[in-house]
């Protein structure tokens, strides 16, 4: 959990501070889960990204998301700051009461809301469908951005690619109707595009793989998909 309320009822983002400052704030402040309002513990450490965790025996439903990997926390922060720089109204880990769900990011506009899920761990088709349907029933568009599979991190150019069924459900379409897939590599802060996809057999495709730094992203896929 990357955010919590402090005892001044302000949202507190620990990743914005140095570890030395966080040690001081941990002594001076009390932090509370934005969902259940129970006290939470600020975890600083030397390896992982500073974040919050519930105390033992907490019954908060937010516990399902604790134990997130460093890459997941890091990627959410990168995407959150990127969207802010692009001028979007974006919330990090907001709790949606009507859904009892907490998307990684929620982007809002006058006409549309978009839940962006940065998926780093395996997820069943049932859980994916359940969460997607929940968003859609509440007029929220769901966009699933999967972590670039490690075996493809070094690939560039035209290659044979195996794309699992769930990632195939995340295919997007170009203006000419051609499918493509975009993943995100939080280690390098790069979007990775799998384009010109030609189905060979089963889960095997031939396509072109190219990487674009998040700082050099030439167009905004969220804007294209959700705010036409």
**pLDDT tens-digit readout, 28-68:** 999 998 888 889 999 987 767 889 888 876 667 554 455 67
pTM: 0.82
The answer to whether residues 83 and 222 touch, using CB atoms and an 8 Å cutoff, is: yes
Q: Check residue 58 and give its pLDDT.
A: 66
Point out the residues of the chain with pLDDT beneath 70.
47, 57-59, 61-67, 152-154, 218-228
For residue 144, what are the β-bridge partners?
A: 117
């Amino acid at each position: 959990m990357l955010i919590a309320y402090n005892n001044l009822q302000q949202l507190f983002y620990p990743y914005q501070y140095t570890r030395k400052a966080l040690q001081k704030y941990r002594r001076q402040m009390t932090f509370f889960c934005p969902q259940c309002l129970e006290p939470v513990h600020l975890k600083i450490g030397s390896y992982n990204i500073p974040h919050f965790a519930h105390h033992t025996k907490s019954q908060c439903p937010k516990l399902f998301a604790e134990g997130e990997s460093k890459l997941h926390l890091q990627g959410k922060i990168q995407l959150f700051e990127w969207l802010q720089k692009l001028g979007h109204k974006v919330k990090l880990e907001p709790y949606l009461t009507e859904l009892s769900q907490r998307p990684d990011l929620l982007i809002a506009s006058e006409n549309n809301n978009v839940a962006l899920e940065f998926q780093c761990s395996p997820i069943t088709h049932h859980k994916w469908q359940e969460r997607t349907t929940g968003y859609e029933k509440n007029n929220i568009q769901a966009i699933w951005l999967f972590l670039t599979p490690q075996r493809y991190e070094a690939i560039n150019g035209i290659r044979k690619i195996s794309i699992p069924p769930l990632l195939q459900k995340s295919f997007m379409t170009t203006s000419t109707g051609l499918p493509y897939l975009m993943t995100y590599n939080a280690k390098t802060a790069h979007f990775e595009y799998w384009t010109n996809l030609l189905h060979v057999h089963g889960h095997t495709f031939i396509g072109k793989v190219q990487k674009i730094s998040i700082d050099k992203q030439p167009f905004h896929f969220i804007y294209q998909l959700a705010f036409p």
